[in-house]
Amino acid sequence: MNRTIELVKTIYEIKQLENFDEAQIALAGRSNVGKSSLVNRLAGRKKLAKISSKPGKTRSLNYYKVNPDGYFLVDLPGYGYAKCSKTERAKWAKLIEAYMTSNPQLKAVAVLLDSRLTPQKIDMELTSYLKSLGIPVIPVLTKADKPKQRELAKLQSQWKDILQQKNNPLLFSSKTGKGEDNLWDVLGEYAKL
């Protein structure tokens, strides 16, 4: 399918949040895990979402409309960024919480996990939080061009156990396009719910 992705709204503060009629799937994960790169890969455009080798690039909620499907992908600012001040971190948490708890159109959160790292506590905290809110988690192992296949398989089975899901987490690489078709299929299924 010939899809297009365009940025339609950027939000920095809770008071800017609004309800949309369209289904939404958010992209969450640690700073630098590859959220914005994933948006660019799906869009087939290198510079749609700003990316950086330094963590903490995305500071806002960015709503990308996927057409012709009609749902939003929402790129969230990353967490776990060490250089971030306490005040900033608290602001992040409040904004994300407000977004996630008052949003019936949020169909799922794709939680991006760095495939080069063993399961991290901070990621498990997010997945538990989402579970407590009843929001489905779509685990995606990013940068899957880096580890060996055997390592990826091990990590997939670890996350599958942690999340108690019946399917393996998706593998994704913005660099090679690995997993792109699979991800589109899964996003489409959740957006329809």
Would you give the end-to-end CA distance of the chain in angstroms?
20
Among 57, 59, 91, 160, binds Mg ion (CB under 5 A): 57
CB 99 within 8 A of CB 129: no
Strands 106-114 and 24-29: parallel
19 binds, among Mg ion, ligand GTP, none (CB under 5 to 8 A by kind): none
CB of 172 to ligand GTP, least distance (A): 7
59 binds Mg ion (CB under 5 A): no
61's CB contacts (< 8 A; 6+ apart) are 10, 11, 12, 74, 75, 76, 77, 95, 99
142 binds, among Mg ion, ligand GTP, none (CB under 5 to 8 A by kind): ligand GTP
Residue (92 or 160) nearer to Mg ion, CB:
92
Residue numbers 151-180 binding ligand GTP by CB under 6 A: 173-175
Instruction: Check residue 37 for interaction with ligand GTP (CB under 6 A).
Output: yes
Among 36, 115, 127, 174, binds Mg ion (CB under 5 A): 36
**Considering just the CA atoms, what is the radius of gyration of the chain in Å?**
15
Q: Of residues 24, 32, 40, 58, which one binds Mg ion by CB under 5 A?
A: 58
Residue 28 to residue 111: CA distance in whole angstroms: 5
